[in-house]
Structure 1
Amino acid sequence: MFSETRYAMNGDLCVAYRTSPEGPRDIVFVSNWYTNCEVFPELPSLQGWVEAMTSLGRLIFFDQPGTGASDPTTSAALPTLEQWADSITAVLDDLGSRETVLVAIDGAVATAALFAATHPSRTTALVVIEGYADAGDSPPSLREEVLPAFVDMWRTAEFQHLFNPDMPWNQEIRAAWARHNRLAASPGTVALMLPLVAELNVRAILPAVSVPTLVLQHADDPLITPAMGKDVADHIPAAKYVELPGRNIFHVVEPWRDSFREIAEFLTGHQADVADDRVLATVLFTDIVDSTRRAAEVGDRDWRALLDAHDAVVRSQLARFRGREVSTSGDSFLAMFDGPQRAIRCAMAIRDAVQSLGIQVRAGLHTGECEVRGDDIGGIAVHIGARVSALAGPNDVLVSSTLRDLVIGSGLEFEDRGDHTLKGVPGEWRLFAVAP
């Protein structure tokens, strides 16, 4: 989908970049984080956003000097903000592009704003995502706790999870980000260049930005707060500020659709119809047997303590078997897995572990195509999983025939529970209980 890496000249420095096929407009993604354009566009976490953005135009990723596939820098010749902005010019010139939309994430608003202010004829629009004008406005926790530990978190990619708590996260996703980070910058380079990002203050530049500007901000981002986003919008003449639900710094990972719809409408004047992602997954439903009776027996306070202990057990097993908690309500859980055998073994582990609390659970599982809607999931597969769970008895781990067929040869044994009609689901479904 993306071109081979090409190089543009920013003075004596080679700037690496890649593009998607041509479209109605050029869109340059400006990142102040260390990137490697050989890997970044193909990160699994970015695939949905990247595909959607290419429907709006030619998407361009580039690596700032000192990072990724671009030329390295040294402590004696660290890049300046002007050089960072000149990298955009270099890439556009190499492509023969006259003008572009800039999409800038967090501290990259400095680079993008400087380019937009000095080259308004080459900037058709500016989109700021979780931007800030002055890094000194960030919460003390970011300056005093996160940044000093950033180099260590860079090695393991844990900072991506810390900065984007709403993003799906498992070992495979972490490994993909960690590989990208290693290819984007060494720990020494990160430590060398981090102060440039942490000390940016471009509030004085923002009033000179005269191009149409959209500022997108997540309402519950604890690190780049809404006050910081509003400050950017307040200092750019006629900027449009939109606050969306969410906690992520990156709007390019799940859940990205609300942000993309705002960008699409801002650039085209029309609302975008973005299909929800569909993935093959195994859904697991669990709930406590006779919960109403038990709550009445033990009283509100003890029941609350029992629920807390139950929730801790479930979450511990979800982490152990790499499941993702989707939602919880009262004493019930909905989780999803990308491995059917792990889902079943997780259900068995939950069933066994909660017995020490003096309670029993029932579990129902099914594998099918699910619609991913931000943090939530939906679709017929989820409905089937819920109906299977409703038919489970105390200590049952009940699965559909679809799921049973997927784990043949795993060593798991099943008891045939016969054919059943599932409310709201066409046809009859053969169900199986996992043997103790």
Structure 2
Amino acid sequence: MITQPTTRYARSGDVSIAYQVFGDGPLDIVVVPGFVSHVELIWEVPTAVHILERLASFSRVILFDKRGSGLSDPVVGAPTLEERMDDVRAVMDAAGSDRAAIFGLSEGAPMSILFAATYPEQTSALVLYGGMARSTWAPDYPWATPADALIESSEAMAPYLYEGAVIEIMAPTFADDPRVRALYARLQRYAASPAMLQQMFLMFLDIDVRAVLPTIDVPTIVLHRRGDRAVNYQAAVWMAGQIPGARYVELEGIDHMMFAGDTDALVDEIEEFLTGVRRATEVDRVLATVMFTDIVDSTQRASAMGDQAWRALLDAQNDVLRHELVRHRGREVKTLGDGMLATFDGPARAIRCARAMTEAVRALDIEIRVGLHTGEVELVGDDVAGIAVHIAARVGALAGAGEVLVSGTVKDLVAGSGISFADRGEHVLKGIPDRWRIYAAG
């Protein structure tokens, strides 16, 4: 596991660019972020950390915030693609990188394309994910949304932007998870102010690097999810066809954000393209009871308390939850924003632990909700995956303050334990087949 790296600054003209370097692999990868980013808060997103750790397992990763975003200097006026190219060169120089694979994400793809074409001697390879060569519709580019429609939707979403509303489009598989929504909203608030965001949006509307595509002379891979709701996959297919020798790989899923969906499938393709070797991931499957917890009304509490006090409260909560996990033989998998993911080898212990947790955290003047489901999970390193994990998360999202909700599977498995249940009816769990009967553990 990587310790969060130190943030440093590279000078690009009159602007300071925040960057981090981690990993010690034989090749360098410069990650060019999408619309906005924050090199420190990204380490609070577990799925993002997983991707970054995987990249660092075979490379030295250079991560940075574009000018006007995150911890880099704010700027007056929308930055140009040329200025952004200068920023990449400045960061590479500061990191001691003479040549690197340029990994462009989403809106970072056009600048990466221009960089690879302009500086092929500094570009060992070009990796594009969720990208586009042009941002808006044109008669000869029918895969994008017209500029007027983008402006209209941007204005409609503006009041809700910093509440995580954009996750509905960028990462719809996480849209119903209040913990992820709150974490994404916080990332947006820290990544760019409303005025800076507006400047970057206006610059985005003018992007068109289509003429550059045929001039690229470095190995290139274009990756895209077929159901991407933000950028039509046909734009990626067309883009790959315009780059000499480019390889196009279509992935399953509906998420645009790289940190949602099947992240390992994405990194597998990148690793094989850059190293020639695809990692063989060993997956063990076991039966486990999965627990999700989160704080009720966390967004409002965090806003009222301020970041420092909120972080202190989360640390205190996690100490309480971990104490109960040890008492009830649970295993912490990871923290998720204001909540926790854990597993148990027995459903009755999981319920008793959940009830103890809901009581214990009241001393901190907070209420939590808990969701439990028992099913087969995949053990991938220290993490867990599989449909059972998603079911537990969906069950937890239905719970109220201080409530422990369980699936019918859990209820059936603890028959004779003396634990009482109240029927909460049948529910449709988003992304999960069939209807599920849910119970509240008494």
- Specify the TM-score bucket, using the shorter chain as the normaliser: 0.5 to 0.7
- The letter for the 2-side match of 1:400 is V
Aligned counterpart, 1:35: 37
Aligned counterpart, 2:412: 398
| Distance change (3 Å), C-alpha of 1:187 and 1:257 | same
- The letter for the 2-side match of 1:27 is I
| Distance change (3 Å), C-alpha of 1:435 and 1:142 | same
2-structure distance, mates of 1:182, 1:276: 37
Aligned counterpart, 1:252: 259
Aligned counterpart, 1:188: 195
Match of 1:158 among 165, 175, 178: 165
2-structure distance, mates of 1:129, 1:89: 21
Asked if 1:98 is matched to 2:98, the reply is yes
Shift of 1:194: 0.9
Aligned counterpart, 2:367: none
2-structure distance, mates of 1:158, 1:57: 34
Shift of 1:374: 6.9
Q: Any gaps of 5 or more consecutive residues in structure 2?
A: 138-143, 293-338, 342-350, 359-371, 393-406, 422-438
Aligned counterpart, 1:376: 387
Aligned counterpart, 1:295: none
Q: How many residues align?
A: 329
Aligned counterpart, 1:205: 212
| Distance change (3 Å), C-alpha of 1:165 and 1:126 | same
Q: Percent identity?
A: 29
SS in 2 for 1:166: helix
- The letter for the 1-side match of 2:38 is N
Shift of 1:273: 2.2
2-structure distance, mates of 1:20, 1:253: 22
Answer whether contact 1:151 1:191 (CA < 8 A) is retained. Answer: no
SS in 2 for 1:258: helix
TM-score relative to the length of structure 1: 0.66
- The letter for the 2-side match of 1:106 is S
Deviations 1:141-189 (A, max 9, x none): 9626543334334311221232221347522222222222111111121
Answer whether contact 2:375 2:388 (CA < 8 A) is retained. Answer: no
2-structure distance, mates of 1:434, 1:197: 48
Answer whether contact 2:378 2:385 (CA < 8 A) is retained. Answer: no
2-structure distance, mates of 1:22, 1:233: 30
Answer whether contact 1:67 1:185 (CA < 8 A) is retained. Answer: yes
Match of 2:46 among 44, 47, 51: 44
2-structure distance, mates of 1:259, 1:142: 30
- The letter for the 2-side match of 1:115 is F
Shift of 1:208: 1.6
Match of 2:69 among 57, 60, 67: 67
Asked if 1:139 is matched to 2:153, the reply is no
Asked if 1:7 is matched to 2:12, the reply is no
| Distance change (3 Å), C-alpha of 1:273 and 1:188 | same
SS in 1 for 2:107: helix
SS in 1 for 2:412: strand
Match of 2:27 among 25, 28, 38: 25
Deviations 1:273-309 (A, max 9, x none): 23569997249xxxxxxxxxxxxxxxxxxxxxxxxxx
CA RMSD of aligned residues (A): 3.9
1:409-424 equivalences under 5 Å are 413-414=419-420
2-structure distance, mates of 1:49, 1:215: 18
1-structure distance, mates of 2:256, 2:134: 16
Aligned counterpart, 2:403: none
Aligned counterpart, 2:396: none
- The letter for the 2-side match of 1:73 is V
| Distance change (3 Å), C-alpha of 1:153 and 1:127 | farther
Answer whether contact 1:413 1:434 (CA < 8 A) is retained. Answer: no
Answer whether contact 2:169 2:229 (CA < 8 A) is retained. Answer: no
Asked if 1:281 is matched to 2:322, the reply is no
Aligned counterpart, 1:82: 82
- The letter for the 2-side match of 1:139 is T
SS in 1 for 2:48: helix
1-structure distance, mates of 2:200, 2:31: 20
Aligned counterpart, 2:246: 239
Shift of 1:4: 1.1
Aligned counterpart, 1:170: 177
| Distance change (3 Å), C-alpha of 1:435 and 1:38 | closer
Answer whether contact 2:10 2:94 (CA < 8 A) is retained. Answer: yes
SS in 1 for 2:127: strand
Shift of 1:32: 3.1
1-structure distance, mates of 2:282, 2:160: 34
Deviations 1:215-264 (A, max 9, x none): 00111123311210012101111100011111111223332121111111
2-structure distance, mates of 1:272, 1:365: 31
SS in 1 for 2:75: coil
Aligned counterpart, 2:316: none
TM-score relative to the length of structure 2: 0.65
Deviations 1:370-425 (A, max 9, x none): 5588763489x9xxxxxx957x9xxxx434389x7xxxxxxx9439xxxxxxxxxx
- The letter for the 2-side match of 1:250 is M
Answer whether contact 1:134 1:202 (CA < 8 A) is retained. Answer: yes
Aligned counterpart, 1:429: none
Deviations 1:108-132 (A, max 9, x none): 1111011111111111111110111
Instruction: State which structure, 1 or 2, has the greater radius of gyration over its C-alpha atoms.
Output: 1
